[in-house]
Amino acid sequence: MNEHDSERMAGILEAQGFIPAASADDAEMVILNTCSIRDKAEQKFYSELGRLAHLKSRSGKEVTIAVAGCIAQQEGEKLLSRTPSVDMVIGPSDIARLSAMIEKNRNSGTPVVETDGDPEYHQRLVPASRSDGLKAWVSIMYGCDNFCTYCVVPYLRGRERSRPPRDIIAEARGLGEQGYREVTLLGQNVNSYGKGLEDDCTFPELLRMMQDVDGIERIRFVTSHPRDLSDALIGAIRDLAKVCESIHLPVQSGADRVLALMNRRYTSAEYLDTVRKLRNAVPDMAITTDIIVGFPGETADDFACTMQLLQEVEYDNIFAFKYSQRPHTKALGLPGHLAEEVKEERLAQVLELQKGISLRKNEQHIGSVQEVLVEGASKKGGMLTGRTRGNKAANFIGPAHLRGSFVDVRITTAGPNSLSGELCE
């Protein structure tokens, strides 16, 4: 989401005649697009801002420093007093105002802050500067209404708003015409797409429209909230040839008590039932998830339920995080915040468990033939790399001109993070 916001800001700048600098140190303008989902992301930003501010004051160079994204939204004007080198502060729903802000900053010579949130943002056509040429992100909705008690997103990205389907399809058609082959539809909770739209359109209906876009051969989407994963959506994934057999379905915890405290509005049994339905409909569905360890009050037994759930589901991959205290959120006020060491220990345990599961899941692919969209040279010398429909990296030997094409690869070896194989004739 955040990276795509950066593409959009770059799109606006390029339309104004800016060109990308080789590095931040050479630039006339630097935009730090920030994330505040966890404290670590925030700390990374402050150290980079400090570095740039130092560079600016030391060299006396005329460089404009802008802060965008969720920390911009969270801190607003406060960023200016904290770091006098900051010239612009722009919230995630104010991106379309970037040109006007630059103009205002140049004319006035004083800092400009825009964090009110543009009420029409979801209806604006914002250009995006994409460099990949094959795989593109397309936003379909902004914001989130779920208010999971640990999460800052609803406070910073605002209420859920869906982009009109015609704008999404037009953007996807344009990408298809430019030679893009894969689109990932983006939203905090794509399954509830369509709320408040003038013309009714549900997420499964949007997928059906995407299926008809020429040139785009693969459709993915993130993120799905387990509670909103409807039978209609499962049917669409099963029936639509371009929709890939891969889903990110964040569970967060395996303990019902913790899930309730998190306000996730499902139990582990309901979640497992959804997974069962998905796998019944689409047997080779790859499933990934997000896990938070050390949520306030998480007992050893609660944590054991998470470990148990990981073993039961056997995810293809997981993203696991230590619970991090976030401003505004309800979880801040819950009793039983855990010591850092406990969180670290639990994180290490889930990662260790998953490493074995990921390896086993990948080894199940050995001998199979996978359709791979070739992305180019792999980091390992002399090989090409691409992704399977299940979104696994697959490496193989082949000629460079295959970039951008779909090839069949027979899988011969597997590691926890990737597959390797041979190009089929």
Q: Tell me which stretch binds ligand SF4 (CB under 6 A): 109-117, 148-156, 270-278, 415-423.
A: 148-156
In terms of CB distance, is 92 or 421 closer to ligand 5AD? 92
Check residue 346 for interaction with ligand SF4 (CB under 6 A): no
Left, alpha or beta for 194 (phi > 0: left; psi -120 to 50: alpha)?
Answer: left
Comparison of 121 and 180: residue with beta carbon closer to ligand SF4: 121
Question: Does the footprint of ligand SF4 cover residue 141 (CB under 6 A)?
Answer: no
Stretch that binds ligand SF4, among 77-85, 139-147, 265-273, 385-393 (CB under 6 A): 139-147
User: Is 249 in contact with 226 (CB distance < 8 Å)?
Assistant: yes
Q: Is 253 in the site for ligand 5AD (CB under 6 A)?
A: no
Q: Which of residues 72-131 bind ligand SF4 (CB under 6 A)?
A: none
From the list 196, 155, 203, the residue with the least C-alpha distance to 37 is 155
Q: Which stretch binds ligand 5AD (CB under 6 A): 69-77, 176-184, 233-241, 323-331?
A: 323-331
Stretch that binds ligand 5AD, among 18-26, 214-222, 236-244, 317-325 (CB under 6 A): 317-325
Contact 63, 29 (CB under 8 A): yes
Say which entry of ligand 5AD, ligand SF4, none residue 146 contacts (CB below 5 to 8 A, set by partner kind): ligand SF4
Q: Which helix (H) or strand (E) holds 161?
A: strand 161-162
Which of 316, 288, 290 has the alpha carbon at shortest distance from 419? Answer: 316
DSSP characters over 164-223? PHHHHHHHHHHHHHTT--EEEEE-TTGGGTTTT-SS---HHHHHHHHHT-TT--EEEEE-
Which of ligand 5AD, ligand SF4, none does residue 144 bind (CB under 5 to 8 Å by kind)?
ligand SF4
**DSSP H or E run through 58:** helix 39-59
**Segment interacting with ligand 5AD (CB under 6 A) among 55-63, 157-165, 321-329, 379-387:** 321-329
- Answer for the pair 243, 182: CB distance below 8 angstroms, yes or no: no
The answer to whether 291 and 330 have CB atoms below 8 angstroms apart is no
Please give the single-letter amino acid code of residue 137: W
Q: Which ranges of 240-339 would DSSP assign to H, the alpha helix?
A: 256-261, 268-281, 300-313
3-state SS track over 374-399: EEEECCCCCCEEEECCCCCEEEECCC
| Residue from 31, 80, 138, 148 binding ligand SF4 (CB under 6 A) | 148
**Between residues 290 and 363, which has the closer beta carbon with respect to ligand 5AD?**
290
Applying CB under 6 A, among 74, 189, 192, 268 the residue interacting with ligand SF4 is 189
Contact yes or no for 373/134 (Cβ under 8 A): yes
Select the residue interacting with ligand 5AD from 143, 165, 187, 250 (CB under 6 A).
250
Copy the structure tokens of residue 342: 């406990």
Check if the beta carbon of residue 420 is closer than 8 Å to that of residue 366.
Answer: no
3-state secondary structure 266-292: CCHHHHHHHHHHHHHHCCCCEEEEEEE
Instruction: Check binding of 156 to ligand SF4 (CB under 6 A).
Output: no
Q: Does 154 bind ligand SF4 (CB under 6 A)?
A: yes
Q: How many residues bind ligand 5AD (CB under 6 A)?
A: 12
Number of residue whose CB is nearest ligand 5AD:
290
Which one of 162, 288, 306, 324 is in contact with ligand 5AD (CB under 6 A)?
A: 324
CA angle 412, 414, 420 (to 5 degrees): 55
Check residue 186 for interaction with ligand SF4 (CB under 6 A): no
Task: Choose among ligand SF4, ligand 5AD, none what residue 396 binds, the Cβ cut-off being 5 to 8 Å by kind.
Answer: none
Which residue ranges make up the site for ligand SF4 (CB under 6 A)?
144, 146-148, 151, 153-154, 188-189, 225
Which residue ranges make up the site for ligand 5AD (CB under 6 A)?
37-38, 150-151, 250, 252, 290, 292, 321, 323-324, 326
